[in-house]
Amino acid sequence: MSRPARLTDTALRDRGLGTTGAGRTLVIACGALAREVLALIEANRLDHLSLTCLPAILHNTPAKIPEAVERAIREHRAEYDRILVAYGDCGTGGGLRALCDRLGVDMIEAPHCYAFFDGTAAFAARAEATSFYLTDFLARQFDAFVWTPLGLDRYPELREIYFGNYETLVYLAQTEDPALTETARACADRLGLAFERRFTGYGDLGGFLGA
pLDDT tens figures, 49-65? 999 999 999 988 999 99
Model pLDDT, residue 8: 37
Residue 22's pLDDT band (boundaries 50, 70, 90)? Answer: low
Please state whether beta strands 106-107 and 131-134 pair in parallel, antiparallel, or not at all (unpaired): unpaired
84 strand-pairing partners: 27, 106
> What's the average model confidence in pLDDT over 158-170?
97
Max Cα–Cα distance, the chain, nearest Å: 52
Q: Which residues, other chains included, contact 130 with Cβ-Cβ below 8 Å and sequence gap of 6+? A: 165, 166, 167, 168
Parent domain of 194: 115-199
Residue 211's pLDDT band, with cuts at 50, 70 and 90, is confident
Same domain, 56 and 131: no
What residues have CB less than 8 Å from 33, skipping those under 6 apart? 53, 86, 113, 137, 205
User: How much of the chain exceeds pLDDT 90, in percent?
Assistant: 83
Question: Is the model's pLDDT at 104 over the cut of 90?
Answer: yes
Out of 77, 107, 137, a domain closes at 107
Domain count, the chain: 2
- Which of 91, 107, 123 lies at the terminal end of a domain, its last residue? 107
Whether 124 contacts 115, CB under 8 Å: yes
The model's pTM: 0.85
Instruction: For residues 103 and 120, state if they share a domain.
Output: no
135 lies in a domain? yes
Residue 95 lies in a domain: yes
175 and 86 in a common domain: no
Do 53 and 69 reside in the same domain of the chain? Answer: yes
In a domain, 188, yes or no: yes
Please state, rounded to an integer, the average pLDDT across all residues of the chain.
89
Q: Of 80, 107, 134, which one is at a domain's C-terminal end?
A: 107
